[in-house]
C-alpha cells in the first residue's frame, strides 16, 4: 500500500482539530467535526501532438461543521493556526444560531461507531504527481502521433487529468481519519473532416477514468496499444456508415455506454435527499420516491444494483466518508425491485433507515458535505453469457459502444442516450456500423426490458470525474460498473431527423 504524502502529514491538522472541536464543545454543539483537506489537480491537453494547455492547482484549507440546537452551522478557513481554527468554530456555531429560527427540521444524525485513529490509502502503484512533466507529455505525444499517422485522421486531441486528494477528519465522538486517494482520466479523440460537405466525425477511446495511478497508462490493465490502433479504422467505418432507420430494436449495450445510463437513471434517482426533494431547486427530484421503497418495480428480475464505496479502483471509493462513517456495499435494486437508497447520516436518521451507508462528501475544504453518489453498479449474473453470447441471441438489433451525449428529465424518468459506435446485429452477428443513433425510453420501461446480463468476466468499471450536485455547486468523481446487457424492443431515434436536418 502506498503511504500518505509526508507533506500533508506535516500540516498541523491535530492541533487545529483540537482547537476547533474544543471551542465547539464549549459553545454547546451537540455534534462537531473538523476536516482539513489538500486537493491537487493537474490537467494536460495536447492538440495534434503539441501541448495545448497545462495546469496545476492546489486547494488547501479546513472546515468546521456543527449541529447546534438542532441546526447545521458551517464555516471554513485557510489560515492554519489554532487561533484561526477557534474563530472558524465560533463562526460555524454563529451560523447555526442565526439559522435556527428558520429551521423547521431539527438535525439528528444516525448512530455510527467511533473509529478511533485510522488511516486509509487507495489502491495504486505510482502516484501520478511523481511522474515528470516530460514523461507525461512524451506519452501523450506518442499516442497522438501514432493515431495521426493513419489515413483519414485529420486531428487528434489527447489529455490526462489527475487528482491527489488528502483528507483529515476528526469529530467530537472520537473518530479520527487520515486518507489519501488518487485518480486519473486519460483520453484520446480522433477527428475526420469532410471538407466538401463541411461535416466531421469523431472517435474516442472508451478506456474509463479510474482510481489508479500512472501505471494505468503504462501497464497492462487496459489495452491502450490495441485501442489506439483500431481508432482510425473505427472512425473510417463510422464516416461511411448508413444512417439508422428509426423503430424498435433489440439492444446489446456495452459497459462503456451503459455506465452513463446507470448514472443518470439509477444513480441520481436513488439519492435519498433528491427523492425527498432537497435537490429540487437545482438538479430536480426523483420518480423513485420514498413511498415506493420495497415495492417499485425498477426493472426486470435480472436487475441487481449495488451501491459501493469500497470497490477497488472505484472513483467514489474511500475508507471513511465526510460524516466519519466507515464505507460499505449495499443493495439498491434487488431482483428488479427498489430496496435501498444512498444515505448520509442525516438522511438515514430522518427516514428511520438505521445506519448511514457512507455517502457524505465535500469536494473541497470550502464546501459543506452533502449526500453524494456511491459507485452504483449493475451486477453480473453468476452464470451469465459472454458478450458474444448476448449478441448471438439477437436477430435484428444494435450493439452500442461508448458514451457520448445524453438527455434526461428532472425526475430521472424520460431519457435518450447516444454513443460512440453502433453496430447492426443481424442473425446474431455484427454487420457493420450505423450512424445517428439514439435510444429512448422511460427508466422503468428500459430496465424492465433487460432480458439478460453478462457474466462476471464481462464486468467493467467505467465512470466520470464531473458529477455535479448541490448549491453552491460541487463536483464529485464516481464509477459505475456493468456487464454488457441485452434489452428487448427499445425505441431507436434517428438523431439527424429528430433535429430536423
Q: What is the pTM (predicted TM-score) of this model?
A: 0.97
pLDDT at residue number 138: 98
pLDDT at residue number 145: 98
What would be the CATH architecture of the domain defined by 6-240? 2-Layer Sandwich (3.30)
Phi, psi of 265 (to 5 degrees): -100, -15
What is the secondary structure of 96-133 as a DSSP string?
A: HHHHGGG--S-----------EEEEE-S-SS-GGGS-H
Query: Which residues, other chains included, contact 97 with Cβ-Cβ below 8 Å and sequence gap of 6+?
Result: 68, 69, 71, 73
Q: Residue 229: pLDDT above 80?
A: yes
Element (H, E) at 370: strand 370-371
Point out the least confidently predicted range of 296-305, 391-400, 491-500. 491-500
Give me the chain's average pLDDT, please.
Answer: 97
Instruction: Respond yes or no on whether the N-terminal peptide bond of residue 254 is cis (omega within 30° of 0).
Output: no
Give per-residue pLDDT as tens, 144-175: 999 999 999 999 999 999 999 999 999 999 99
Share of the chain above pLDDT 70, in %: 100
Q: Residue 2: pLDDT above 90?
A: no
* CA–CA separation, 189 and 158 (whole Å): 6
> Residue 147 corresponds to which cell in the numbers above?
493515431
- Direct distance between the N- and C-terminal alpha carbons of the chain, in angstroms, rounded to an integer: 55
What residues pair up with 66 in beta bridges, in sequence order?
32, 73
The residue among 413, 393, 418, 414 whose CA lies nearest residue 403 is 418
Residue in the block written with cell 429528430? 498
Residue span(s) of the chain under CATH 3.30.2290.10 come to 6-240
Q: Residue 501: pLDDT above 80?
A: no
- Is residue 196 within 8 Å of 167, Cβ to Cβ? no
Query: Helix, strand, coil: what percent of the chain each, to 5?
Result: 25, 40, 35
Give per-residue pLDDT as tens, 315-348: 999 999 999 999 999 999 999 999 999 999 999 9
Amino acid at each position: 500500500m502506498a503511504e500518505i504524502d509526508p507533506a500533508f502529514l506535516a500540516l498541523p491538522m491535530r492541533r487545529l482539530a483540537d482547537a476547533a472541536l474544543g471551542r465547539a464543545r464549549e459553545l454547546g454543539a451537540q455534534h462537531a467535526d473538523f476536516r482539513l483537506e489538500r486537493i491537487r489537480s493537474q490537467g494536460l491537453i495536447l492538440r495534434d501532438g503539441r501541448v495545448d494547455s497545462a495546469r496545476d492547482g492546489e486547494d488547501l484549507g479546513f472546515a468546521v461543521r456543527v449541529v447546534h440546537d438542532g441546526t447545521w452551522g458551517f464555516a471554513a478557513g485557510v489560515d492554519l493556526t489554532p487561533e484561526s481554527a477557534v474563530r472558524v468554530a465560533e463562526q460555524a456555531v454563529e451560523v447555526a444560531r442565526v439559522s435556527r429560527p428558520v429551521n423547521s427540521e431539527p438535525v439528528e444524525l444516525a448512530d455510527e461507531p467511533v473509529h478511533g485513529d485510522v488511516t486509509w490509502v487507495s489502491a495504486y502503484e505510482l502516484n501520478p504527481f511523481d511522474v515528470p512533466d516530460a514523461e507525461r507529455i512524451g506519452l501523450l505525444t506518442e499516442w497522438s502521433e501514432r493515431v495521426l499517422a493513419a489515413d483519414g485522421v485529420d486531428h487528434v486531441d489527447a489529455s490526462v487529468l489527475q487528482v491527489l486528494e488528502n483528507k483529515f477528519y476528526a469529530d467530537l465522538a472520537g473518530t479520527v481519519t487520515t486518507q489519501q486517494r488518487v485518480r486519473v482520466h486519460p483520453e484520446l479523440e480522433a477527428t475526420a473532416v469532410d471538407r466538401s460537405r463541411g461535416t466531421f466525425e469523431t472517435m474516442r477511446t472508451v478506456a474509463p477514468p479510474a482510481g489508479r495511478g500512472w501505471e494505468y497508462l503504462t501497464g497492462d490493465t487496459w489495452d491502450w496499444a490495441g485501442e489506439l490502433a483500431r481508432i482510425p479504422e473505427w472512425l473510417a467505418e463510422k464516416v461511411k456508415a448508413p444512417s439508422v432507420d428509426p423503430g424498435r430494436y433489440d439492444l446489446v449495450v456495452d459497459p462503456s455506454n451503459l455506465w452513463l445510463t446507470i448514472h443518470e437513471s439509477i444513480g441520481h434517482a436513488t439519492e435519498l435527499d433528491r427523492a425527498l426533494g432537497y435537490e429540487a431547486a437545482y438538479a430536480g427530484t426523483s420518480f423513485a420516491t420514498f413511498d415506493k421503497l420495497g415495492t417499485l418495480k425498477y426493472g426486470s428480475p435480472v436487475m441487481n444494483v449495488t451501491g459501493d464505496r469500497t470497490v477497488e479502483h472505484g472513483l467514489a471509493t474511500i475508507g471513511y466518508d465526510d460524516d466519519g462513517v466507515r464505507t460499505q456495499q449495499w443493495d439498491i435494486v434487488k431482483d428488479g425491485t427498489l430496496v435501498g437508497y444512498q444515505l448520509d447520516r442525516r438522511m438515514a436518521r430522518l427516514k428511520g433507515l438505521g445506519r448511514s451507508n457512507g455517502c457524505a462528501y465535500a469536494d473541497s475544504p470550502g464546501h459543506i458535505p452533502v449526500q453524494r453518489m456511491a459507485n452504483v453498479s449493475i451486477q453480473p449474473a453468476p452464470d451469465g453469457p459472454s458478450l458474444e453470447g448476448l449478441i448471438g441471441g439477437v436477430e435484428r438489433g444494435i450493439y452500442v459502444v461508448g458514451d457520448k451525449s445524453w438527455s434526461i428529465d428532472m425526475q430521472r424518468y424520460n431519457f435518450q442516450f447516444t454513443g460512440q459506435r453502433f453496430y447492426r446485429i443481424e442473425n446474431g452477428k455484427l454487420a457493420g456500423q450505423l450512424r445517428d443513433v439514439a435510444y429512448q425510453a422511460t427508466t422503468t420501461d428500459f430496465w424492465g426490458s433487460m432480458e439478460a446480463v453478462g457474466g462476471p468476466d464481462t464486468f467493467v468499471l467505467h465512470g466520470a470525474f464531473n458529477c455535479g450536485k448541490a448549491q453552491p455547486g460541487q463536483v464529485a468523481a464516481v464509477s459505475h460498473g456493468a456487464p454488457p446487457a441485452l434489452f428487448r424492443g427499445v425505441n431507436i431515434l434517428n438523431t439527424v431527423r429528430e433535429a430536423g436536418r
